[in-house]
Each structure stands twice: as structure tokens, then as C-alpha cells.
């Protein structure tokens, strides 16, 4: 979709950005491809406009999305909390990308919110609840990176996009749409992709870097998850994989290794939803995916203090792995009217 940014807000921002400013751009905890794509897409654009920009993240992120221009400059709050706090304290403008609640930046929340900078949120998650000066919220957009594409042109309609910026935006759209297949994809998004490819960017390199770049151990780990760990509950058209810390250690788990595994059970034809549980030091992290009308965002928010999108969401559980799975099965029972096959065709 093409977002209609409020004209008054765009004028206000054009005004603010008419002189070099100290800017911080940030995104959510454990950033994904859309988070880093939108972060670095906007970062490279604003740097080219002579602003003093710091790109800041609340935690590390997978090596597979560490190839975009500007990646070397990204400051990780967990690794360098003081540098990040200084960047926020000095910022005149802060851009918050790809999240709708300040708690999505976890421990970085206080340093991000407790300053006088002008805050702009650009996001595509439903129901934003965040204090800011300008909110550009477009839940119909397939990716925050798609919004960044249109935002750049709203600020400068003569901008000549460079391949490095196009690569960031392409990465975000690709990763948030399951490689251009989710229902959030539109003809408008394909037109954005066409404009990105027109810059001469290399899309093959991006697909190979993201999709064909796992270690041998990770590929064997995937086999283990699917063969030994996947539980299928046909009655609820649901499947789950629950991984202990021990199992993750055994396969030398790295950030990003579990990414994508939650999608595999959905390739079974009658599955409606899938969940992946990973045991962390202090909690259980859960990823949810679904097909069609079943909203995993609702399930994640009601049962696992989380959120996300209709077909891709996440949450947390404080307790043991077994208890988390039990809680999940109770949640499936709660949604049984939506999950169970309703009409049995008889001849």
C-alpha cells in the first residue's frame, strides 16, 4: 500500500531537517530484517543529507542481516550502553522504527524515552501505544521498510536512490513478507520493488545471504527440530516445537539460528498455526505463525504478553518450558472454534 503521510507532519519534519541535526534512529529488541532494513535505509538517506546520525539497536541481531551499508556503525545497547545513552542524550530528533510500544526496546526503554528530543514513530504494527511527537502508523503496510521508501520520497521527491539504500529496503520487504508471498503484499509493493531493482541493486546476493547462509550445524539442527521435536496436534490444526537450553547449546546455537524454523510446520497442508518455544535464562520466548484468518497476534497478546501481526507474532512466558507448552495447549482449546475443522463433508 501507499501510505498517506499527514502533510502537516511532513512539512514540520522538512522544516526540522532543513539544517543538519543530531539524529538517533532505533528499532526493536532482537531486530529482524525489516528492523535493520528500515533502520539502515533511513540512516543512509539522512547521512547523505549531511545529518549527524547514530543508528542504535537494543540488542544484537543475526549475521545473515549484517551485510547492509552502515552495519559497521550500528551501536548495540547491550554491548555499549554508555555510548547509546550519550547518543540519546545528545539527539535532537529520534526515529523509532518497526515497533508500536516503547517496551519493545526492553532495557533500553528508559534512555530512549527520558530525553527532550523530537520523537517520530514509523511502524506497521496494529494498535500503537507509544509517546511521540509524530506517529506514522500504517498497519496495512507489509513492512516498515516499505514505509521508509515512501517516507524518503515524501521528504525529497527528487531523491535519486542509491543501490545501497535500495538493498536495505528490499531486505526489509523480503523478510517481512516471507519473500513476497504473504497477503500483505500488494501491486503497490511490487511497484516499490521494481523501483528498487531499477537502481541496479543485486537482489540475488540478498537472497543468498539471507536464505542460503546457514552453518552445517544449523541445517542439522533444523533436521532435529522437524524429525524429533515437532509435535502436531491435528485436532487443532496446530504444531509446535519446544527447545530446551540444553538442546540449543548442543547445537551451538547462535542468534538467528532459530529464525524461520517456526515456518516449517505450516508447510504441512492442513496446519493453521505453528509455535516455536525457546528456553532462555529467565523466560521462555515464543514465536507464532499462522495462515489465513487465524490471528496469532491475538493469541500472543492474550496468553503470552506479546503481540505482532495477524500471521506472525511473538511473546514470552515466565515459568518452565513444560508449563509454557501447557499454557499454549490451553490457548488452543480457547480458540477451538476457529481451529477445529467445522464442516465435515459427507457423501
58 binds, among Mn ion, ligand 5GP, none (CB under 5 to 8 A by kind): none
Interface of this chain with ligand 5GP, residues 291 to 310, rule: CB under 6 A: 306-309
Shortest distance (Å) from residue 124 CB to ligand 5GP = 9
Shortest distance (Å) from residue 345 CB to Mn ion = 39
Among 32, 167, 257, 279, binds ligand 5GP (CB under 6 A): 32
CA proximity to 286, closest of 323, 335, 333, 235 = 323
Residues that bind Mn ion (CB under 5 A): 34, 98, 144, 176
Indicate the Cα dihedral angle 114, 120, 122, 125, nearest 10°: 40
Cβ–Cβ < 8 Å for 11, 155: no
Specify the residue, 49 or 229, whose C-beta has the smaller distance to ligand 5GP: 229
123 binds, among Mn ion, ligand 5GP, none (CB under 5 to 8 A by kind): none
CB atoms closer than 10 angstroms to residue 96? 24
Specify the residue, 132 or 195, whose C-beta has the smaller distance to ligand 5GP: 132
> Which three-class secondary structure state does DSSP give residue 70?
coil
Chain centroid offset of residue 195 CA: 23
- Which residue of the chain is nearest Mn ion when measured via CB? 34
End-to-end Cα, the chain, rounded Å: 44
| 256 touches ligand 5GP (CB under 6 A) | no
Cell of 155: 521528504
96 binds, among ligand 5GP, Mn ion, none (CB under 5 to 8 A by kind): none
How far apart CA 28 and CA 279 sit, in angstroms, is: 20
Binding site for ligand 5GP (CB under 6 A): 28, 32, 104, 287, 306-309, 312-316
Amino acid at each position: 500500500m501507499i501510505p498517506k503521510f499527514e502533510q502537516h507532519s511532513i512539512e514540520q519534519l522538512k522544516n526540522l531537517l532543513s539544517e543538519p541535526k543530531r539524529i538517533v534512529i532505533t528499532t526493536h529488541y532482537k531486530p529482524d530484517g525489516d528492523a535493520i532494513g528500515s533502520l539502515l535505509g533511513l540512516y543512509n538517506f539522512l547521512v547523505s543529507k549531511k545529518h549527524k546520525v547514530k543508528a542504535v539497536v537494543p540488542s544484537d541481531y543475526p549475521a545473515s542481516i549484517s551485510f547492509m551499508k552502515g552495519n559497521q556503525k550500528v551501536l548495540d545497547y547491550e554491548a555499549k550502553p554508555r555510548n547509546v545513552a550519550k547518543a540519546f542524550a545528545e539527539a535532537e530528533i529520534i526515529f523509532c522504527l518497526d515497533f508500536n510500544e516503547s517496551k519493545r526496546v526492553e532495557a533500553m526503554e528508559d534512555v530512549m524515552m527520558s530525553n527532550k528530543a523530537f520523537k517520530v514513530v514509523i511502524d506497521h504494527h496494529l494498535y500503537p501505544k507509544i509517546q511521540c511527537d509524530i506517529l506514522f502508523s500504517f498497519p496495512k503496510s507489509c513492512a516498515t521498510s516499505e514505509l521508509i521508501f515512501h517516507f524518503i520520497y515524501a521528504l525529497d521527491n527528487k531523491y535519486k536512490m542509491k543501490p545501497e539504500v535500495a538493498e536495505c529496503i528490499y531486505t526489509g520487504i523480503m523478510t517481512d513478507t516471507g519473500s513476497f508471498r504473504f497477503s500483505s503484499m500488494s501491486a503497490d509493493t511490487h511497484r516499490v520493488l521494481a523501483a528498487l531493482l531499477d537502481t541496479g541493486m543485486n537482489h540475488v546476493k540478498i537472497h543468498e545471504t539471507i536464505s542460503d547462509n546457514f552453518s552445517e550445524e544449523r541445517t542439522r539442527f533444523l533436521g532435529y527440530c522437524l524429525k524429533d521435536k515437532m509435535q502436531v496436534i491435528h485436532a487443532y490444526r496446530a504444531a509446535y516445537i519446544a527447545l530446551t537450553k540444553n538442546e540449543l547449546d548442543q547445537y551451538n546455537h547462535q542468534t538467528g539460528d532459530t529464525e524461520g524454523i517456526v515456518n516449517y510446520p505450516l508447510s504441512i497442508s492442513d496446519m493453521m498455526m505453528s509455535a516455536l518455544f525457546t528456553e532462555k535464562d529467565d523466560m521462555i520466548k515464543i514465536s507464532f505463525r499462522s495462515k489465513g484468518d487465524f490471528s496469532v497476534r491475538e493469541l500472543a497478546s492474550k496468553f503470552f504478553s506479546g503481540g505482532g501481526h495477524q500471521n506472525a507474532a511473538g511473546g514470552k512466558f515466565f515459568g518452565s518450558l513444560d508449563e509454557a507448552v501447557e499454557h499454549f495447549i490451553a490457548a488452543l482449546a480457547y480458540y477451538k472454534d476457529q481451529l477445529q475443522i467445522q464442516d465435515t463433508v459427507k457423501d
